[in-house]
Amino acid sequence: MKREPTESGDQRLALFIDFENLVTRTGISPESFDLQPALDTLLEKGKVVYRRAYADWTRFSGATQRLHDLGVELIDVPPSTRAGKNGADMRLVIDALELAYLREHIDTFVIASGDSDFCPLAYKLRENDRTVIGMAVRESTSPLFVKACDEFVYLRAPGQQRRRDHGGKEKPSSKDKEKEKEKVVPEVARESVSAILSRATSPVNPSAIKAAIVRREPDFDERDHGFSSFSRLLEQMEKEGLLRLEQGAKGQWYVVPA
């Protein structure tokens, strides 16, 4: 029996955080870095079974406790006069590839960085039949890295984050409420789906739909149109008769003509 994509929760995710990249030139300070909203988005997709953050932690000690509280393992990469910042990048890449080869049950890799240096890693993981989700602040993200990923989750800089009420819960701004009411499927999504399905001879992976949209509009973000995730956008398109979602034998969701 068919289940809704966002309720399946059968993905196993590994999260790799290039911490220095996320707090450099983004307006986010180590002390104010809040991973929880992004983690909540990932938990909608499945279970985050692996969480690592890479940095020279002597520089970012203000962020360590909050990351520890979220179950993130901190990998300390001391500065090197030869490798410099790239030391953390190299360690992250090696660990991600090693995990991909040793743990076949992990089907989704989340790379929290906006650095285009991670494009080869994203391509290699996708070659090995893994879904790759990128994560970073929009203004400091390379369009090349966005295109290299199946999906992208944009973090909010402090000025963009939702306000919280006195109870500690998120309080949507008037702009957020307006977007929630709209939920309009953007024309670029309609056109991309129509073009792909018109020539498809077999079920299409949702990542191909997202990639086609990003090729047309590199800074595309479904949240700008009122959808909390790309799967929510696909659900709306199914409701409007633009496509149909179909689950394969291994639990993977595919897009087919309506």
- Tens of pLDDT along the chain (258 residues) come to 333 333 345 789 999 999 988 887 676 778 888 888 888 888 878 889 999 999 999 989 889 998 999 999 999 988 754 544 567 889 999 999 999 999 888 999 999 998 999 999 999 999 999 999 999 988 888 999 999 998 888 887 655 443 333 333 344 444 444 444 457 899 999 999 999 999 988 888 887 888 788 777 766 778 788 887 788 889 999 999 999 998 877 667 889 998
Same domain, 37 and 152: yes
> Under a CB-based contact definition with an 8 Å cutoff, are residues 130 and 115 in contact?
no
CA distance 236 to 227: 9
* Residue 169 belongs to a domain: no
* Residue 210 belongs to a domain: yes
Residue 86 pLDDT: 65
Helix, strand or coil for residue 193?
helix
Same domain, 33 and 150: yes
The one-letter code for the residue type at 79 is P
The C-alpha angle with vertex 133 and arms to 22 and 147, in degrees rounded to 5, equals: 90
* Residue 190 belongs to a domain: yes
Residues in the chain: 258
Residue 248 pLDDT: 75
Same domain, 52 and 104: yes
* Residue 189 belongs to a domain: yes
Same domain, 31 and 118: yes
90 is in which domain, residue-wise?
Answer: 5-156
> Under a CB-based contact definition with an 8 Å cutoff, are residues 18 and 28 in contact?
no
Q: How many CB atoms lie within 10 A of CB 34?
A: 15
* Residue 146 belongs to a domain: yes
Q: What is the CATH number of the domain that holds 250?
A: 1.10.10.10
Tokens in use for 189? 């999504």
CA distance 209 to 195: 10
Give the H or E element holding residue 18.
strand 11-18
Same domain, 96 and 20: yes
As for how many domains the chain has, the answer is 2
* Alpha-carbon distances of 130 from 29, 104, 138, 143, 180, rounded to whole Å: 32, 9, 23, 21, 31
Strands 163-164, 151-155: parallel, antiparallel or unpaired by DSSP?
unpaired
Q: What are the strands of the beta sheet with 46-55, ordered from one edge?
A: 73-76, 46-55, 11-18, 108-112, 131-137, 151-155
Residue 6 pLDDT: 36
